[in-house]
Amino acid sequence: MRLFHALLASSLLALTMAGCAKPISQNSVANSPAVMRDETVTGSVLKSASARLDQTMPNRLSSVGRLAGRTLEVATTSDIVLRPGEVILTFDDGPRAGKTPKILNTLDRYGVKATFLMLGSAAQANPALAREVAARGHTVGSHTFDHANLTNLSRQAALDEIVRGEAAVAEALGGAEKLSPFFRFPYLAQTGFLRTSLLHGDMVVLDVDIDSKDYYQESAQTVANRALGRLEGRGSGIILFHDIHQRTVDLLPGFLDELEARGYSVVRLVPKAQGVFGRSIITAEAGGL
Ligand SMILES: [Zn+2]
């Protein structure tokens, strides 16, 4: 329950900090945490980042990979420890035709990898797209079958929903070995029992540090500014987007431009042991109910 309370507290903090989002143009490279990056930093990196602030470059023709950070191998949730200036991009609820492909193209242009927490129902409806996400080097986890609020279900039904979601995503991918054990609770709604069950089953619960709230009926710029403001307040974090909204498609290039200009790096999250083979199987019996 302590974890749940911590999550609740962090959500409340997110609400209070939402008003801190600054207009993009007011931030400068001087505030950026570029010094923490792994890559060899030369004067030209900062110079070009600075130059980018003075000109409009909404799109790029090819990937330069400047944003790409380290690859973090994760066996348990506690392995996800970010350094200042590091972010993890996550996209929930897809795949969605017409939206996910554009997100993939943007991520390719910026040379960064994200983690997609797919719904079993969405993967089942768009199996080719699910495979495309994995084929382009992104990490694929699950997000239940049908986006149920698991706290409203019996323990049995909640575990069934999680297992069914994993199975459907694995089938869409064409093999369980392509599915990573990352999982995110719909609505971030969890119970101590469910979280413990998942951890015992060697699943990796993916929490959220920065909720972009890209499902709000707001402009892409407003959503991007809020997420950037939250990020500046924390200095690093796991960012939640949804690859089912047009505004997310629209805001992503500018958002990544800003991350780059401010010296952030995008960490690629991968499971320490690929796929779900070899780990304990989550079963409805896990909780003794
Ligand atoms: Zn969701």
Q: Give the Å distance between the CA of 186 and the centre of ligand 1.
A: 5
Buried b (16+ CB within 10 A) or exposed e, 90-107: bbbbbbbeebbbbbbebb
| Domains contained in the chain, number | 1
Query: 112: helix, coil or strand?
Result: coil
Q: Look at residue 206 in the predicted model and tell me its pLDDT.
A: 96
pLDDT of residue 271: 93
CA of 220 to the centre of ligand 1 (A): 19
Phi, psi of 245 (to 5 degrees): -115, 140
Specify if 97 maps to a domain.
yes
Residue 53 lies inside a defined structural domain of this protein: no
Q: How many angstroms does the Cα of residue 96 sit away from the middle of ligand 1?
A: 13
289 CA from centroid of ligand 1 (Å): 26
Characterise 278 by phi-psi region: left (phi > 0), alpha (psi -120 to 50), beta (else): left
In a domain, 142, yes or no: yes
Is 178 contained in some domain?
yes
Domain CATH for 81: 3.20.20.370
* Distance from residue 31's CA to the centre of ligand 1 (Å): 32
Q: Residue 73 sits in which domain range?
A: 2-22+67-276
Cite the active site residues: 92, 242
pLDDT for 64 equals 54
Please state the pTM of the whole predicted model: 0.75
Confidence of residue 242 (pLDDT cuts 50, 70, 90): very high
Asked if residue 48 belongs to a domain, the reply is: no
Q: What's the rounded mean pLDDT across residues 182-188?
A: 97
Assess if residue 136 is contained within a domain.
yes
| Residue 288, both tokens | 């003794």
Q: What is the pLDDT of residues 39-90, one digit of tens each?
A: 333 333 333 333 333 344 444 544 455 899 999 999 999 999 999 999 999 9
The DSSP line for 59-72 is: --SS---SSEEEEE
How much is the mean pLDDT over the chain?
Answer: 80
The answer to the question of residue 43 being in a domain is no
